[in-house]
A and B are shown apart, each in its own frame.
Chain A
Amino acid sequence: MMVRFAMYKFLNLCWIVVLSAVCLPTMAKDAGTYGLGRAATETDIAVWDIDVRFDGAGLPAGNGNVAQGEMLFDAKCSACHGDFGQGEGRWPPLAGGNDTLRHQGADGRPEKTVGSYWPYVPPLFDYIRRAMPYAAPKTLTDEETYALVAYVLRLNEIVGDNFTANAQSLPQIVMPNRDNFFFDPRPDSPNTACMEDCVDTGTLRLIESITGVTPSEHLGINKESSAEKIINVGAVHYKASCAVCHAAGVAGAPREGDSVEWKRRLQVGGEAALIDSVISGKGLMPPRGGGAHLSDEDITAAARYLIRLEKSN
């Protein structure tokens, strides 16, 4: 009896515990209007709370120096950013560009780098830790991130060889371009809605576009079917009418990507014979693969799509 009573009490206690755990977040006195979601715990927040503010708020514990950063940079960053942060190909340069921000057109281009343009250092830590290395973001430790910040600053000659980056040192650095940002004053460039004789035609100068840099294939798209268009059309028909058998190899249909089988069939009579056999039917495949509504042109496009699919596999 005692045992049973004790168990009864214990079970009741469990219910109270369970109910509290489930319901407290939404039943609590200060719950929001809709009582939706659950309360975020300190642990939840700690996992995701990675942002670092311009003044250093949010910088974690740890250190990293220039020498450590150089080794890491060579291994993980230089392929895109160059050995000295000069940038490779179209990837962004990180260093250089001092005194280029006033360059407009004829004087050469401004080079916006960490050294020439970034107003604060802590967001550099933030960005590297959240988004770099490009192909493997959020894989760097805090120490590695500090080391990379130290090295990028060194590449920009903002710190010396012996610099160590940490939560104390980074907010103290005054970047060269820090005071040169201001709040947007738009609307600017005022115009008026003049309706007649608004411009002195004598002053108008017409500037044509540069030719040859625009990917402009689509400008002539309405003239004739391009090879690409045929492939696109073929893909639609293949997927609607042929894939049901050929994707999975139903009833002996050669599968997508079965390069050995497709090569064998193409060797027999080439593409033309293959397309003819689709139109008239072959083996268990009915004429037009059962797609009675498809024209010869549709069949050809679908077959070319499938052959091309095979070739690319």
Chain B
Amino acid sequence: MKRLSDKELLSAVARKATSMSVPQRRRFLQAGMIVAGTAAGIAQTPRTVADTLQVKAWSKQLGRGVVSAPYGSPSRHEAHVVRRNVPWLTADTVSSISFTPLHELHGIITPNGLVFERYHAGVPEIPPEQHQLLIHGLVTRPLVLEMNDLMRFPSVSVIHFLECPANGGMEWRGAQMEALQFTHGMISCCEWTGVPLSVVLQEAGLKPEGKWILAEGADGAGMTRSIPIEKALDDALLAYAQNGERLRPEQGYPLRLLNPGWEGNTSVKWLRRLKVGELPWHHREETSKYTDLMPDGRSRRFTWVQDANSVILSPCPEKPWTGMIGRFHEIRGIAWSGRGRIKRVDVSDDGGVNWRPAQLKGPVLSKALTRFVLPYEWDGSPKLLQSRAVDETGYVQPTLAQLRDIRGVESIYHKNSIHTWALSNDGAVRNVQIS
């Protein structure tokens, strides 16, 4: 058989097609185009008639009416945009964590259905009219507040990230996750609405000797954390709404604590009790967990703040640049700091030897995800892509080697080091570490 060029094959297919009825032609063209693609050895998916400009079926019929999905749902073509878990990480899913699909998200707000989950005894389903918050201890007026009471207080709405301090923790000892969702997905960013904790503490009559607060959850695990009074009076929030709707059950419905910029575990969900005391409690979650083991065998505790961090979302293992040599790109990513605003993000494509400043896009808010982009022409050669965040305190995101020099490899929490993606000449992206 004579080998035809792409052009010759396509014009032969077109000639044959003109002598057919419309349905015949459609079938023939589809088959022919596939043959053409295959014969010519075109690497990408063969183009079919469906890809050419023509009036599509959905333009010639009626679609669904209102309230066919009363609460709405994403396009069915986005059904792969979901939280995922790592089954081997924990004994079961009731006390486990799921990961936000950062690579599929745009802007800085995480949709509520995609905010990573962390439970210690599963999600309690709490009727809001039965939920109560007890405030007692070193206060002059111990109070019981119903949800209706809490929602009458002066409210605020703030945009903050929430991050598990174990985010990236699976990579302390080495690169072992092949996907961004698992290397960085224990983070989300939402608009939270509620009443400042300082307002409610004042209502209860905080005594001067009250230096610490025990926050306790109403879930089976009865999660507790000790919060110093300085944080409680600074920016801690009793949150009842998230991105405009009431909290999701997964996020603490009907009431949670939110400690902006601090490790997620302190933002106790399903909050039922605040006890004011003189000393920290040193409970299970602040001694046996959420402490950092150093190389000398000693451990840090009360490691509350999430230091500046960043990661590149495009390209990444889930969003490779396959077939995109030479075209315009934005290297896109997110940065954040628990100590305030992101001041700058730099990007390197040679493993950290040389850096270029990226642009910060959209709102740059304190303790919130901040987008950064770098316009980029990719020549198709392999690259080692990194991003490096600097926050308003001047803190510069450390390299992995710098972090390990101080903290060893058993720290588990607060791994905020510069991350490396290896971009291959075929556009594929691998998670690697540079040491």
A residues contacting B by CB (< 8 A) are 30-34, 36-40, 44-45, 48-55, 80, 89-91, 101-105, 109-110, 112, 114, 117-120, 123-124, 126-127, 130-131, 134, 137-138, 180-199, 201, 204-211, 213-216, 218-219, 221-222, 229, 232-233, 236-237, 240-241, 292-293, 295
Contacts and interface: CB of A to CB of B under 8 A. Distances in A.
A65 B239 CA distance: 43
10 contacts: A32-B204, A37-B143, A39-B143, A138-B222, A191-B388, A193-B344, A206-B384, A219-B178, A219-B317, A236-B76
A27 to B, nearest CB: 13
Interface of B: 57, 61-64, 68-69, 73, 76, 79-80, 84-88, 90-91, 95, 101, 120-121, 134-136, 140-146, 149-150, 152-153, 173-179, 181-182, 202-205, 214, 216, 220-222, 224, 272-273, 275, 277, 279-284, 287-288, 291-293, 295-305, 307, 317-318, 344, 346, 351-356, 384, 388, 390, 393, 395-399, 402-403, 405-410, 414, 422, 430-435
A206 B88 CA distance: 26
Given A209-B431, A215-B182, 17 more contacts: A32-B141, A33-B202, A37-B146, A38-B143, A134-B95, A181-B291, A184-B304, A187-B395, A190-B396, A190-B398, A191-B388, A195-B354, A204-B351, A206-B434, A210-B174, A214-B177, A219-B318
Nearest to B429: A219
B406 A293 contact: no
B282 A53 contact: yes
A218 B84 contact: yes
Contact of B141 (A39, A189, A292): A39
B134 A44 contact: yes
Contact of A101 (B293, B422, B434): B293
Contacts of A207: 174-175, 432-435
Contact of A209 (B177, B301, B409): B177
Given A54-B282, A193-B396, A221 B143 contact: no
Contact of B275 (A51, A190, A196, A204): A51
B402 to A, nearest CB: 4
Contacts of B153: 34, 36
A210 B79 contact: no
A221 B80 contact: yes
A114 B409 CA distance: 21
A184 B143 CA distance: 33
B80 A229 contact: yes
Contact of B398 (A30, A91, A191, A205): A191
A29 B150 CA distance: 21
Contact of B175 (A44, A114, A210): A210
Given A37-B149, A219-B179, A206 B432 contact: yes
Contacts of A204: 351, 434
Q: What DSSP secondary structure best describes chain A's contact surface?
A: loop
Q: What DSSP secondary structure best describes chain B's contact surface?
A: loop
Contact of A233 (B79, B149, B287, B354): B79
Given A54-B281, A218-B181, A102 B297 contact: yes
Contacts of B356: 195
B298 A181 contact: yes
Nearest to B140: A30
Contacts of A241: 68
B270 to A, nearest CB: 13
Contacts of B280: 54
A244 to B, nearest CB: 10
B398 A32 contact: no
B396 A48 contact: no
A104 B149 CA distance: 51
B175 A32 contact: no
Contacts of A124: 284
A136 to B, nearest CB: 9
A26 to B, nearest CB: 10
A205 B433 CA distance: 8
Contact of B288 (A53, A112, A194, A237): A112
A197 B204 contact: no
A34 to B, nearest CB: 6
A181 B291 CA distance: 9
Contacts of A232: 76, 79
A293 B288 contact: no
A191 B399 contact: yes
B203 A51 contact: no
A44 B145 CA distance: 12
Q: Which of B76, B88, B145, B433 has the most CB of A within 10 A?
A: B76
Contacts of B62: 292-293
Contacts of A219: 178-179, 317-318
B63 to A, nearest CB: 6
A255 to B, nearest CB: 21
A45 B134 CA distance: 8
B181 A110 contact: no
B109 to A, nearest CB: 22
A202 to B, nearest CB: 11
